[in-house]
Amino acid sequence: MLELSHVSAEYFGKTALREVSLTFQPGQVLAIVGPNGGGKSTLLKTAIGLLPPTTGTIILDGSPLKALNAKQIAQKVSYLPQSRSVPDITARRMVMHGRFPHMSYPRRYTDADRQIVIEALKQADALELADRSVKTLSGGQRQKIYLAMALAQQTGTILMDEPTTYLDIAHQLQVIALARKLAAQGKAVVLVLHDLPMALAGADRLAVLHKGALAALGTPEEIYASGIIPKTFGVALYRMQTENGWQYYCCPQ
Ligand code: ADP
Ligand code: MG
């Protein structure tokens, strides 16, 4: 479990995150939403120690984050960044990187590691891509490989920054379904999502980040009722009861 309390962060003296208090709870999918530049990526980077907070405290599984080294953090939290370089290696090797935090030098993969990698590729619906070079994959296929790498890390907390980018609608829904499955296994899953209807229908809780501050935190029901979405995004929000529960949609205001 990751607990952020009054966390602020800045770039070159300019504040990007203001006093955010938020807990990433086991067994839940938390969607982080907000307009561009609202601080969503900064929040994840700060939560995992890539950016030092200027105020506040971060506690990871009971320990202060600043007392843990990168390997210890990576054993507990996997993080799928919004953008990354594309190496010229096979997808399988890329997913193997997810095992690094669990290995000591010299790194030797065991059969168990290889099996975990295959399982992660299967879960991400990407096993057939295993022997392709990551460089030759489409954006959506790459996204699945990065997802598999995060799964191979086998952490209790999973942070994904826009994991549905580049994916077609069926694969976007698969990512949400996978997030729900991981949460059902007891993991804390945090997704930065741009698609508000998808976030409202798929997450247990939503955090709305606006201008670096937490504008709202609550269940989809609470967020819908609060009127924060129209206020923050400048769109009208409606919902419809369906056999799959409430489905939401946004329209011009
Ligand atoms: P979001 O992910 O919600 O779109 P970000 O967290 O990326 O927003 O950015 C929050 C703010 O911090 C923005 O004003 C952005 O311009 C600024 N910012 C983000 N990354 C950097 C960086 N590496 N250097 C300087 N400013 C940055
Ligand atoms: Mg971002």
> Nearest bound ligand to CA 9?
1
> Nearest bound ligand to CA 160?
2
Q: Identify the residue whose C-alpha is closest to ligand 1 atom 25.
A: 11
Q: Which residues line ligand 1 (CB under 6 A)?
A: 11, 16, 34, 36-42
Identify which of 42, 45, 193 to mutate to test ligand 1's pocket (most ligand atoms within 8 A of the CB): 42
What integer pLDDT is reported at residue 204 of this predicted model?
A: 98
Distance 40 CA to ligand 2 centre (A): 5
> Nearest bound ligand to CA 83?
2
Distance 183 CA to ligand 2 centre (A): 23
What integer pLDDT is reported at residue 105 of this predicted model?
A: 80
Identify which of 7, 10, 11, 165 to mutate to test ligand 1's pocket (most ligand atoms within 8 A of the CB): 11
Q: Quick one: which atom of ligand 1 is closest to the CA of 35? A: 3
In 79-193, which ranges are continuous DSSP H helix?
Answer: 91-96, 111-123, 139-152, 169-184
Contact between residue 44 and residue 30 where contact means Cβ atoms under 8 Å apart: no
pTM score, two decimals? 0.94
Which CA distances in Å does 157 have to 36, 100, 131, 223?
Answer: 24, 17, 28, 23
- pLDDT per residue, tens digit, the chain (253 aa), is 999 999 999 999 999 999 999 999 999 999 999 999 999 999 999 999 999 999 999 999 999 999 999 999 999 999 999 887 888 999 999 999 999 999 888 888 999 999 999 999 999 999 999 999 999 998 889 989 999 999 999 999 999 999 998 889 998 999 999 999 999 999 999 999 999 999 999 999 999 999 999 999 999 999 999 999 999 999 999 999 999 889 999 999 8
How many of the other CB atoms lie within 10 Å of CB of 238?
11
What integer pLDDT is reported at residue 130 of this predicted model?
A: 97
Helix (H) or strand (E) holding 48: none
What integer pLDDT is reported at residue 107 of this predicted model?
A: 81
Distance 10 CA to ligand 1 centre (A): 9
Distance 95 CA to ligand 2 centre (A): 23
3-state class of 229 per DSSP? helix
Contact between residue 48 and residue 199 where contact means Cβ atoms under 8 Å apart: no
Distance 118 CA to ligand 1 centre (A): 35
